[in-house]
Amino acid sequence: MNRRISKTLGLSQEAYLFDSPLYLTKSLLAIATGYIIGKQFPIAQLDMISVLLGVMYNLEPLNRTGVRSGVSQLIASTIGAAATGILVLAFGVNVFSISIGMVLTLYVCLKINWRLVSPVAIFTSIYMTQYIQVNEAGLPSIWLTFRLRIIALGLGVLIALFYNYIFSNLYYRKFAKKRLQYANEQVLNGLIYTAKVFQRTLPRGKRGYIQLFSQQMNDLDLVYSNIEALKTEFTILKKEVKLKEVNKLQEIAELYRDINHLTYDLNFLLESTPDVVLDKELELSLEEVIVVLESTDYTNSIVPPLHDLKVEKHYLDIGNPFAERIHKICEKVNLVVEKLQHLQ
């Protein structure tokens, strides 16, 4: 009963491996800080929505600093707000100033990063036409509106960057290792699936492997890019010791991608030769790989002893394509364990 309640109310294993509990904690602290500090600034407390939105839009769900993203959003918002404000001063609030202001804001976003349009900048453009502030004389003031939006947003961004930085530095090692644990589990799923297909406990020739492995390839690319983002930020911040360690962890992530591709190749070969019977020794080699990866636990720092996984030479001499790929998988897994041993 307790297990069922825990499963219903708790987060998934994937969410834990992608630091969702830490993100919730970080959000709690950042929002509380944003509210408390925002209330201390006379101009910011007039627009707590912008402060809190600035916090949450720039708070990284992954444990990295997000400096570049935060600065880019602030620049895009500032330029977009200025352009929209000038249009409103010149033409008033009408369909022309609203639409052209939005287009200019989007243009600035795409100029900074063509892959991403900042929702913060979009909100800022709308804000400048729909939430115009009134000055002490009771007159609409674009300058006051601009200052209010940018100061409140800037405060939120700074608070988010502060907490991103703190959590990134405290938990960067766990961040990378949790991603590798996820990668290990994904690769294991592919290997176990392949072993079952070879043993005919799963049907052959159904092309079910394509969907499985395409999703796994995307997941492993995500893990690699997450670690790459962390590596980039440590490079910018000149954190050489942490960068060196993250580089080693990224090498392991790359090995997992290679193993997954080789496992996919085994299934592709099997599709073209569905009647092939894999020699027992090759099946055992694949099972040994599975055992080694099953005994690897990054979250609890459990590293298996060094192995000499391999395929017997006579299989390679006759050019058996299945043996060649299983042998390469063995070599890659040996390298994973070796690199993990050096990290201990």
pLDDT at 323 over 70: yes
What are the DSSP calls for 64-111, one per residue? S--HHHHHHHHHHHHHHHHHHHHHHHHH-SSHHHHHHHHHHHHHHHHH
- Characterize 69-105 residue by residue with b for buried, 16 or more Cβ atoms within 10 angstroms of its Cβ, and e for exposed: bbebbbebbbbbbbbbbbbbeeeeeeeebbeebbebb
Q: Name which of 254, 53, 290 is nearest 159 in CA terms.
A: 53
Determine the average pLDDT of the residues in 39-63: 84
Compute and round to an integer the Cα radius of gyration of the chain.
27
What does the pLDDT read at residue 328? 93
For 171-343, give the CATH class: mainly alpha
Residues 6+ apart with CB under 8 A from 75: 108, 112
Non-local CB neighbours of 249 within 8 Å, separated by 6+ positions: 176, 177, 180, 227, 343
Distance CA 289, CA 337 (A): 11
Q: Residues 163-209: pLDDT tens digits? A: 988 887 777 667 778 889 999 999 999 999 999 888 887 777 667 78
Cβ 154 vs Cβ 38: under 8 Å: no
- Identity of the residue numbered 104: L
Among residues 4, 305, 52, 303, the alpha carbon closest in space to that of 181 is found at: 303
**Are residues 246 and 343 in contact, defined by beta-carbon separation less than 8 angstroms?**
no
Residue 105: closest CA among 129, 134, 132, 70 = 129
pLDDT of residue 254: 95
For the chain, what are the domain ranges? Answer: 17-164, 171-343
> 220-223, long-range: CB within 8 Å, 24+ apart, which pairs?
220/183, 220/186, 220/187, 220/253, 220/256, 220/257, 220/260, 221/257, 223/179, 223/180, 223/182, 223/183, 223/253, 223/256
Binning pLDDT at 50, 70 and 90, where does residue 282 land?
confident
| pLDDT tens digits, 71-103 | 888 888 888 889 899 999 999 899 999 999 999
- Tell me the pTM: 0.72
Average model confidence (pLDDT) for the chain?
84
CA angle, residues 138, 144, 148, in degrees to nearest 5: 125
